[in-house]
Amino acid sequence: MKNLNFKSLFVLIVLLFASFAFVSAQNLQERPNDEKNRPMELFRRLGLSREQIQEIRRINQEKQPLMREAQKRLGDANRDLDIAIYADTINETQIQTRLKEVQAAHDEVIKIRSSMEFAIRKVLTAEQLANFRQMREEMMRRNRERQMENREGPPKDRNNLPNRPPSDRPIQQRPQNRPNF
């Protein structure tokens, strides 16, 4: 029984990650045109030489088709897993097989992305690498802030937050008739 619960939890986690990846991919497609020029702005801010830019472009030209194909396989594997999970009849063997396919496809995406980033990292000087780390941290911070804004919406009154401990809420705001869930 515990093994089945663990499997169910694991499948749920995989599905959640897949849905986040799908939403992220949609957000990337909806970006305005000026953001498509970001690589050139990044190159300029890093102070890359013409040779470095050419080498990075060569790396991208070599790895991007591999990355697109790996991401397609990951999307297909996620779709097949979803179909297996929600099929009319439960087939745990098929679900496990599909789950392994998702894991293998995900591993391949990570492998290609890592090799690509490592190849680009080798092109950078120590100073450029330090600048890149700083810019990357700033970009990640802005992305986290945007995600928090999208999740939370407009600022809320602290006393109306549902996850706040009951002892911290004013007494008059406690609900009198709570459902027993």
Q: What is the DSSP string of the chain?
A: -HHHHHHHHHHHHHHHHHHHHHHHHHHHHT--GGGGGHHHHHHHHHT--HHHHHHHHHHHHHHHHHHHHHHHHHHHHHHHHHHHHTSSS--HHHHHHHHHHHHHHHHHHHHHHHHHHHHHHHHS-HHHHHHHHHHHHHHHHHHHHHHHHHHH-S---GGG-TTS-GGGS-GGGS-SS----
pLDDT at 100: 98
* pLDDT beyond 70 at 88: yes
Compare 39 and 71 and report the one with higher pLDDT: 71
Query: By percentage, how much of the chain surpasses pLDDT 70?
Result: 64
* pLDDT beyond 90 at 178: no
Q: What is the pLDDT of residues 49-74, one digit of tens each?
A: 999 999 999 999 999 999 999 999 99
pLDDT at 36: 58
* pLDDT beyond 90 at 92: yes
pLDDT at 6: 43
Q: What is the pLDDT of residues 119-133, one digit of tens each?
A: 999 999 999 999 989
